[in-house]
Structure 1
Amino acid sequence: MSSSPYPDKPVSQRTSQATLTNSLPDGCSYGSIPGKDESAAERVIWVDFPPDSRDNPFYFSTKRKVCITMCALIYCWYCSMTASAFAIQSGAMCEDLHCPHLGAEAGIGLYAWGAGVMPLFVAPVSEEFGRRPVYLCALFMLWMFHLMQGLAQNTATALIARFLTGIAGSVGTSVVGGTVADIFTPAHRGLPMMMTGFILYFSTGFGGMIFAFVTTHLGWRWTWWLILITLGACAPLFVFLMPETRGSIILRRRAKKLRQERGLNDGGRYLSHGEMNKVRFLTALKTSMIRPIIFLLTEPIVMFFSLWVALAWSVMYVQIAGLPYMMRTLYGFSTEQVGLVYLTACIGACFGYLGGYAQEFLYRRYAPTKGVEARLYTPMVAGVLFALGCFITGATASADIPWIASAIGQVVVITGVMIIYVTAFTYVSECYGTYASSAMASQSFLRNMVGGGIAFGTTSMFKGMTVRWALILMGGIASLLALVPFVAYYYGPAIRERSPYSRELMRQEREALDSERVQRELRGMDMTGAEDIEGDVYEKERD
């Protein structure tokens, strides 16, 4: 672990490695590190994954990857569903607890802010100390704070519970992306990332619809009782099916085990590269928390994609917080009818998922010549759809125009937003390799802070500007930010070339894939899973 907030130097610059010998465990090789005396180097044995090792997260069995992905998606489901569940039950809650309507909007905004601040701590910590403990702790916290919400007897308790729930829920929009990057090589991340986005948006619509009926017929507290029951039922899945997926953590544990079992009998101390330059816990934690801020302020890719997805997220929060107001004020809808309109998010998520399949086809066709920028074809369309959907929803938001026209605009918005959201995760995760969670934490911070701020003032904005002009304003901003994927497509390689972090991290990940492929070829092993369809374009760049 390094005390610097920046990525470590690549393995090839740390030490010169000797040829693997038969006496060492598979995957281990002799090397050296500077000793206490500058003239003397200490002989060590580097611990890496053997080729095709099932301990390497990239090459977990398909069954194991399915289980891990399922657990991650379940967490995403609850983290997203709770947002629309709160919005739809907020009216009944406010009547019962005698809180002003602003209290409901505050609950949505505080959830977003909790989900925005915590990734600066959680995501880097998961990179340094492991994903599994973060998931298990966050799952327990998520359950406890939903219980607090259900037992709330006053507005203050309900709002504190919402903020704390957002903190626990931050794992669903930060660490989950890092988990996908842990177990899928760049060539295979597209569809898992798309599934993550699909679950986030589909569950938003599903939660709004289901809990509208629950609130009407059982009362608002049953919204939280049902979530508690089902979330508790899913807890064993995380305990038994979610292993550690962070490769550096697994290697660190393997090196520790080899030191205990073999000591210095093999002519050197067993070490993993992640154990070099170990520092104190608090120093490492400070470094880990600084890294996402550095990425956000100094990395143009992170900065502009974060701004783009922040606007998209804001519009989603406007839909979550403002949909009940919009449908009740303009069309006189009941709570149950408003819940049915939340199905627009489900439909938009389905269209967005189809867009993901189209993007995956285009990626596999053009990645050998365009590299990671081949991830940006459907996002260029999605940016236009996003702006168009805002204009349609705003222009038709009038009592004398059938509500279905506005609902169609909302479907277009969610379709575009979902593709944008997934793009921001997938593209950035490839650009920042092993520090994907830190880059995503930067995005999550800006996205949720902006979205939460918008949620606080949604009703005031609708009353002051009218629903129509508020959404048209969003469409105008979206039109400007629609340029982001076009700029990234044409100038992405030049931008990354000027970034020491992205360039080095992509190179490290690609070197690891190259090494795996070479060793498999030498041993006559199956090459499935080790392919690097972007490799041709980067090979040309190196030449």
Structure 2
Amino acid sequence: MEVIMSSSTVNDENESTSIYNPDQLELQNIQREVTRQLSKSLTNEEISHYEVELLENDIENISKRISYYRKWLITIILSITSVVVTMLSSCWSMASEKIIEHFGISREVSVLGISLYIWGLGVGPLFLSPISEFYGRKLTYIFGLSLCSCFQILSAFSPNIGGLLFGRFMSGFFGSAFLSVAGGTVTDIFQKNEIGVAMTVFSLAPFIGPALGPVISVFVVENIYFRWIFYILLITSGLMILLIILIVPETYKPVLLIKKAKRIRNETKDDKYFAPLEIALKEQSVWKNSLYGSKRPFTLLIYDRMMFILCFYTGLLLAIIYLFFVALPYIFRTVFKFSPYGQGLSFLGLLIGSIIGALPSQYFQSLYNIQSAKIGKLKPEFRLYPLLIGSFVVPIGLFIFAWTSYSNIHWIAPMIGCSIFSAGVALAFQGIFGYTADAYRLYAASGMACNSIMRSTMAGIFPLFGLQMYEKLGANWGSCLLALLTVVMIPFPFIFYKIGEKLRSKSPYTWSMD
């Protein structure tokens, strides 16, 4: 459930902010830099006159020109592609036994097929997201998914395990370019009063993909051949690239302004008209910006303890999710004597729970608006309500899963435990992502990036020892240990809610909403 979320907009009397939309902040940075550069040769009046702005009736203003149904078609295409990219992370789970047999490798080496893909998803946005800031979202989708598909070919046809594992990492690396910016397209095309349902649908996609991967994978692996799951996802990725080229337009405002500036220059024959990003492209190196951008998240993670704890918590939750991709087949095979088909279907508990946990997002958005209106200002701590609930739901689900994993208890009980746990994870992610973007507003992109690093690193490590842990401790105590780890984390959301404002005032990275 590697998730890089964007959520619906928040209204205030004076401003609107998105839960995670660092592009707006990047645009402001670009404009400030452009103004500084141009001030050397142009007066403020000339800058104001020749800098183009995106007006409602401009042909470049895509969000105003396309129909409501086209917006939903774009959202569905982006959501399905998100499902495909995240399915790639977990489809390996039910193909693992066949891969071990085919290549003659150990189980530990096989688990690297999951871990390397997750690590690729975590590292990729650090270097690839700046491409979208300079060249737009659509080019990033095409570039990222095309290379992701190329390395899927390596995974699908490699005659040795080394090539297959390398292909897995690089597929995750380039697939992450799509996940890191796709939510921004949805926020670009929908109006504030329309976006709620659309963002809920899109936000569900990265949760659905990892849980759906093993369900589909087991039927393909058992009835055809393990490589066919890679063939199918490769074909699907190619189809999604084609649909993105044909249907998904460029929606990133700085790039649209470049198109408008070019049009006006052609119409007026006056080369003074400019868009801020045009100057930034001349003054800044994309690759230098990528390398510099990869440094900032580590700085934030090291020097801000509050950010470290939030990132660690999301890392722990995602690590347990991916540990389950190794543990669930083992538990349902050894305890409940499930066939491979039953083992694959056991992941439906995670899928159902994820959907249930994501559904109340609009309620928490409304609660945030109400609480902010009461005190007359936006307060990041009001974003923590889903996390406060999720911090209790997560260990409850794990304890149920742990102590119902007995052969004399019906198998539906541990699946219910999985669903409750998964719902708690979805709630926790909503709260942490929302809080991160609001509290670290000027550093929102870096905050989300360091969160991605931490959770992907932990999620990639846990599967490497998960099966051995369950073999040593058993299904009950192994899951109980995980539950106890999440119990230890319960106080932190309440501490942040109570004294978060005081902690933020001491951090050089947070942003005051006074």
Checking the alignment, whether the CA contact within 8 Å between 2:200 and 2:359 is kept in structure 1 is no
**Does 2:314 align with 1:306?**
no
1:270 aligned residue (271, 274, 280)? 274
CA distance in 2, matches of 1:58, 1:299: 38
1:91 CA displacement: 0.8
- Per-residue CA deviation, residues 180-212 of structure 1 (Å, 9 max, x unaligned), is 455567887665444334222223232212221
Alignment of 1:60-459 (within 5 A): 61=66, 62-183=68-189, 191-259=197-265, 261-262=267-268, 264=270, 269-272=273-276, 275=279, 278-298=283-303, 302-369=307-374, 371=378, 372-431=380-439, 436-459=444-467
**Does 2:488 align with 1:480?**
yes
1:87 CA displacement: 0.5
Task: Report the RMSD for the aligned CA atoms in angstroms.
Answer: 3.4
Residue type at the aligned position of 2:174: A
CA distance in 2, matches of 1:300, 1:187: 36
Q: 1:259 to 1:304 in 2, by over 3 A?
A: farther
Residue type at the aligned position of 1:411: S
Q: 1:168 to 1:12 in 2, by over 3 A?
A: closer
Q: 1:153 to 1:170 in 2, by over 3 A?
A: same
1:385 CA displacement: 0.5
1:494 CA displacement: 4.7
Match of 1:43 in 2: 46
Q: 1:233 to 1:252 in 2, by over 3 A?
A: closer
Checking the alignment, whether the CA contact within 8 Å between 2:357 and 2:427 is kept in structure 1 is yes
Q: 1:206 to 1:485 in 2, by over 3 A?
A: same
What's the TM-score once normalised by structure 2's chain length? 0.82
- Per-residue CA deviation, residues 217-252 of structure 1 (Å, 9 max, x unaligned), is 112122122222333333321102222232223224
CA distance in 1, matches of 2:210, 2:328: 12
Q: 1:215 to 1:271 in 2, by over 3 A?
A: closer
Checking the alignment, whether the CA contact within 8 Å between 1:174 and 1:440 is kept in structure 2 is no
Moved over 6 A (4+): 6-16, 185-189
CA distance in 1, matches of 2:63, 2:447: 20
Residue type at the aligned position of 1:408: I
- Per-residue CA deviation, residues 236-285 of structure 1 (Å, 9 max, x unaligned), is 211022222322232244334444554558xx553427735822344333
- Per-residue CA deviation, residues 81-109 of structure 1 (Å, 9 max, x unaligned), is 12221101111222122222222211111
Where does the alignment leave 5 or more consecutive residues of structure 1 unmatched? 1-5, 17-30, 505-537
SS of the equivalent of 1:270 reads coil
Q: 1:11 to 1:145 in 2, by over 3 A?
A: closer
Deviates more, 1:276-285 or 1:163-172: 276-285
Deviates more, 1:398-407 or 1:178-187: 178-187
Match of 2:11 in 1: none
Checking the alignment, whether the CA contact within 8 Å between 1:202 and 1:349 is kept in structure 2 is yes
Alignment of 1:17-28 (within 5 A): none
CA distance in 2, matches of 1:116, 1:253: 32
Q: What number of residue pairs does the alignment pair up?
A: 483
Q: 1:10 to 1:206 in 2, by over 3 A?
A: closer
**Does 2:476 align with 1:468?**
yes
Q: 1:82 to 1:187 in 2, by over 3 A?
A: same
Match of 1:510 in 2: none
Residue type at the aligned position of 1:86: W
Q: 1:11 to 1:488 in 2, by over 3 A?
A: farther
Residue type at the aligned position of 2:393: L
- Per-residue CA deviation, residues 371-413 of structure 1 (Å, 9 max, x unaligned), is 3544332221112101211222223334444332221111111
1:333 CA displacement: 1.6
Match of 1:520 in 2: none
What's the TM-score once normalised by structure 1's chain length? 0.78
Residue type at the aligned position of 2:168: R
Checking the alignment, whether the CA contact within 8 Å between 2:90 and 2:213 is kept in structure 1 is yes
- Per-residue CA deviation, residues 143-168 of structure 1 (Å, 9 max, x unaligned), is 22222222233222222222122112
Checking the alignment, whether the CA contact within 8 Å between 1:105 and 1:456 is kept in structure 2 is yes
Q: 1:154 to 1:8 in 2, by over 3 A?
A: closer
CA distance in 1, matches of 2:123, 2:219: 32
Q: 1:229 to 1:9 in 2, by over 3 A?
A: closer
Where does the alignment leave 5 or more consecutive residues of structure 2 unmatched? 1-24
SS of the equivalent of 1:114 reads helix
SS of the equivalent of 2:159 reads coil
SS of the equivalent of 2:51 reads strand
Identity of aligned residues (%): 26
Q: 1:197 to 1:315 in 2, by over 3 A?
A: farther
CA distance in 1, matches of 2:58, 2:509: 28
CA distance in 1, matches of 2:182, 2:457: 19
Deviates more, 1:342-351 or 1:477-486: 477-486
Deviates more, 1:358-367 or 1:468-477: 358-367
CA distance in 2, matches of 1:307, 1:173: 21
SS of the equivalent of 1:331 reads coil
1:414 CA displacement: 0.8
Checking the alignment, whether the CA contact within 8 Å between 1:211 and 1:223 is kept in structure 2 is yes
Q: 1:170 to 1:100 in 2, by over 3 A?
A: same
Checking the alignment, whether the CA contact within 8 Å between 1:255 and 1:272 is kept in structure 2 is no
CA distance in 1, matches of 2:277, 2:151: 38
SS of the equivalent of 1:457 reads helix
Give 1 or 2 for the bigger CA radius of gyration. Answer: 1
Deviates more, 1:269-278 or 1:375-384: 269-278
CA distance in 2, matches of 1:229, 1:200: 19
